[in-house]
């Protein structure tokens, strides 16, 4: 707990406002865009939950590599937020794009949509894993910890989203 208190005290109000503001803006924009494109509020639920759980995972990962691996946290770790958010967004809008294109087809099936999305997400996870692991050989310390935790958080969040999509979106 003291780690989080230290992080909280170590940040200025300006930092909290700016980072919080950027995350809140992205959260609102993703939800608004999703609703605007699909006209269905239930599409916003999985991405909102994924987004929030990824933030919790980032906080948890900071706790892990500070307390267990004794790696000092600096501003570098913030890049994790950007990469994770970016990958979740890219994965989500590839799903929305596919849904918009196929929803008016006569043979449109929600099960096929889920399967297609899950397959695409798994392929993306493989690709992210290969790309990040490949460049990780050049890194050490906080840089390596940040990139590996980003990999874990991103892949977990993307896979979680495929489960949440199946849970919340059904005809």
Give the integer Cα–Cα distance in Å for 127 and 122: 9
Which one of the spans 15-23, 53-61, 106-114, 163-171 is the region binding another protein (CB under 8 A)?
Answer: 15-23
2 makes contact with another protein (CB under 8 A): no
Using CB under 8 A as the binding rule, whether residue 14 contacts another protein is answered as: yes
Give the nearest distance from C-beta 122 to another protein in angstroms: 9
- Residue in this structure with the two tokens 């999509």, named with its chain if needed: 165
∠ CA 108-88-55, nearest 5°, is 135
Site string for another protein, 79-118 (x = CB under 8 A): x-xxx-xxx-xxx-xx-xxx-xx-----------------
Least distance (Å) from another protein to the CB of residue 64?
20
Question: For another protein, which stretch binds (CB under 8 A), given 48-56, 68-76, 105-113, 161-169?
Answer: 68-76
Q: Which residues 6+ apart lie within 8 Å of 80 measured at CB?
A: 58, 61, 146, 149, 150, 153
Give me 131's structure tokens.
Answer: 């790309």
State the number of CA atoms in the 13 A half-sphere of 137 facing the CB: 3
From candidates 33, 38, 48, 53, binder to another protein by CB under 8 A:
33
Give whichever of 68 and 137 is closer to another protein, judged by the CB atom: 137
Helix intervals (H) in the chain: 2-10, 13-38, 44-67, 79-102, 110-136, 141-168
Least distance (Å) between residue 104 CB and another protein:
13
Half-sphere exposure of 71 (CA within 13 A, CB side): 19
Q: Which residues bind another protein (CB under 8 A)?
A: 9-10, 12-15, 18-19, 21-22, 25-26, 29-30, 33, 37, 74-76, 78-79, 81-83, 85-87, 89-91, 93-94, 96-98, 100-101, 120, 123-124, 126-128, 130-132, 134-135, 137-139, 141-143
């Amino acid at each position: 707990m003291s780690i989080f208190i230290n992080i909280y005290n170590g940040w200025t109000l300006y930092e909290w406002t700016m980072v919080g503001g950027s995350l809140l803006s992205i959260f609102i924009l993703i939800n608004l865009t999703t609703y605007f494109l699909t006209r269905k509020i239930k599409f916003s639920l999985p991405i909102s939950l994924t987004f929030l759980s990824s933030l919790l995972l980032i906080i948890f990962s900071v706790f892990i590599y500070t307390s267990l691996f004794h790696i000092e946290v600096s501003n570098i770790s913030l890049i994790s937020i950007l990469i994770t958010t970016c990958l979740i967004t890219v994965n989500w809008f590839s799903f929305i794009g596919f849904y918009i294109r196929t929803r008016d087809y006569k043979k449109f099936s929600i099960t096929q949509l889920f399967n297609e999305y899950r397959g695409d997400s798994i392929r993306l996870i493989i690709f992210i894993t290969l790309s990040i692991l490949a460049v990780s050989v050049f890194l050490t310390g906080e840089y390596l910890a940040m990139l590996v935790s980003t990999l874990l958080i991103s892949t977990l969040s993307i896979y979680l989203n495929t489960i949440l999509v199946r849970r919340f979106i059904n005809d």
